[in-house]
Amino acid sequence: MKTKYWSVDKNVENEKNYPQIHEAAMLLRDGEAIAFPTETVYGLGADATSDAAVAKIFEAKGRPSDNPLIVHIASQSQLEKLVSDVPPIARILMEHFWPGPLTLIFPKRDGVSAKVTAGLDTVAVRMPDHDIALALIAAADVPVAAPSANRSGRPSPTLASHVQEDLEGKIAGIVDGGATGVGVESTVLDCTGAVPVILRPGGVTKEQLEEVIGPVLVDPGLESHVEKPKSPGMKYTHYAPKAPLVIADGSTSFVQALIDEARQEGLKVGVLTTAEQKGSYKADQIIICGKREDLSTVAAGLYEALRSFDSTDVDVIYSEAFPQIGIGIAVMNRLVKAAGHQVIKE
C-alpha cells in the first residue's frame, strides 16, 4: 500500500481552504485508516461504525483485538448517535474539558462497531482540542475511532515522522500538522457508575477533575493485571523503546551507581533525565525529556526522548523517576509500562 502524505497548517481557520483535509476525509468515509494530529499524540483513525474500517487499525498497529479504542467526535450531535445515556456529571465535565484531553466512558448505542468496544456495552469518547483533528472529523462526517498511530507497544507518536517510521506502507495516509502539544494521551474517566473512576491518567489531572465534580476514584487495575480492559492501555506493555528500560527511583548518585555497574559489565548505557540533572551523569547516551520543575514539559517530551534512544547503540536505558503529582502521575504510568514494570528503588 502506498501511504499518502498531506501537510496542513496546525491552525486551520477554514477547512474549505484545505483540500488536503477533504481528500483525507474522503478516504476515511471510504473505510480507510488515516493518521492525524491531536493535542495529545497522533491518532490512527477509521470510521467507528464500520467493522471493516476498524479492522484496518488493528492490522496496521498489530494491536490485540481485546484492547478497546477511543472514538473521536467533532460535535455534540455525533455523541448522541454513539451513546444511550449522558449522565449529568458527564455533561458538566464536557462543558469544562471538551474539546480537550479527556475521554469519557458512556453506555453505547447500537451502531458502534463491536471491534471498537472490544465487545463491551460501553464506548469511550472524546472531542480533541486540535483544529486539524476537528476539521477532519467534521469533513468526514463519521465518528472516528483512533488509538495512537504507532505499532503496538512502541512509544506513541508526537510527530508525523514517528508515524511514518512505524506505519509507512500500512495505512492509507498521514496528515502532518506538526508537533503535538500535551504529549501523553488523554485521561480516560468512567462515568457509568455512582462515582467517576480514572481508568487511565493523562492530560487532565485527578486534581483538575475533582475541582469540578468532587471525589474521583482511580481504578486499581492501573496497578495490576487486567483481563478485560475497559480502557486502552490497561492490559498490555506500551511505549517501549527497543533497548530494555529500567526506572531508577532514587538519588542521582544511586542512578549513577547503576550506570557504572552496567558499564563495568560491558554494556552501553543510556540515561533518560531532565535539564536540571543532565550534568549529574556519566553514561554513553544522555537524553533530556523536559524540566523536572515543570512536569508538563516531561509529558510533552517523553515519547520523543524514548524514540531517540532507538537511533543509538545503547544496550540498556535507565530513567529517573518523577513525582506522582498532577501530570506526573500520567508520566510515571507511561514510563512504568514502557519499562515492563522494572523499577529499582534506592
At 256-271, the pLDDT tens digits run: 999 999 999 999 999 9
Q: Are 92 and 212 in contact (CB under 8 A)?
A: yes
Measured CA distances, 252 to 258, 285, 316, 343 (Å): 10, 16, 17, 15
pLDDT band at 226 (very low <50, low <70, confident <90, very high): very low
Shared domain for 127 and 192, answered yes or no, is yes
| Structural domain containing residue 197 | 4-223
State the helix-helix crossing angle for 206-213 and 88-97, rounded to 10 degrees. Answer: 120
The single-letter code of the amino acid at 310 is: D
- Check residue 225 and give its pLDDT: 47
Grid coordinates given for 292: 523536572
Residue 240 domain-assigned?
Answer: no
> Distance between CA 75 and CA 254 in Å, rounded?
50
Does pLDDT of 231 surpass 80?
no
Do 183 and 100 belong together in one domain? yes
**234 in a domain, yes or no?**
no
Report pLDDT for 67: 84
Q: Write phi, then psi, for 99 (nearest 5 degrees).
A: -70, 145
- Answer yes or no: is 232 within a domain: no
The long-range contacts involving 215-220, CB below 8 angstroms and separated by at least 24 positions, are 216/189, 219/190
Q: Is residue 126 part of a domain?
A: yes
Residues 266 and 177 in one domain: no
Co-location of 277 and 132 in the same domain = no
The values of phi and psi at residue 248, to 5°, are -105, 105
pLDDT at position 326: 94
The residues, ordered by sequence, that sit 6+ positions from 96 with a Cβ below 8 Å of its Cβ are 212
- Mean pLDDT, rounded, for 45-73: 94
Q: List, in order, residues 6 or more apart from 97 with CB less than 8 Å away.
A: 204, 208, 212
CA-CA-CA-CA torsion sign (35, 171, 9, 133): negative
Q: Are 212 and 225 in contact, with CB atoms under 8 Å apart?
A: no
Q: Read off the pLDDT of residues 183-198 as tens digits, 9 standing for 90 and up.
A: 999 999 999 999 999 9
Q: Residue 81's domain is classified under what CATH number? A: 3.90.870.10
> Stretch 297-301: mean pLDDT, rounded?
97
Last-in-domain residue among 188, 223, 258: 223
- What's the total number of domains in the chain? 2
Same domain, 187 and 250: no
Among 191, 223, 255, identify where a domain stops: 223
What string of DSSP letters covers 146-167?
--BSS-TTSPPPSSHHHHHHHH
Check whether residue 270 and residue 208 sit in a common domain: no
Does residue 228 form part of some domain?
A: no
Cis peptide before 99 (omega within 30 of 0): yes
Taking the C-alpha atoms of residue 166 and residue 342, their distance in angstroms, rounded to an integer, is: 25
- 151 in the same domain as 18: yes
Alpha helices in 168-271 (DSSP H): 206-213, 252-264
Q: What are phi and psi of 8, to 5 degrees?
A: -130, 135
C-alpha cell of residue 48: 467507528
Residues 269, 174 share a domain: no
Average pLDDT of every residue of the chain: 93
Mean pLDDT of 277-285: 97
CATH number at residue 317: 3.40.50.11030
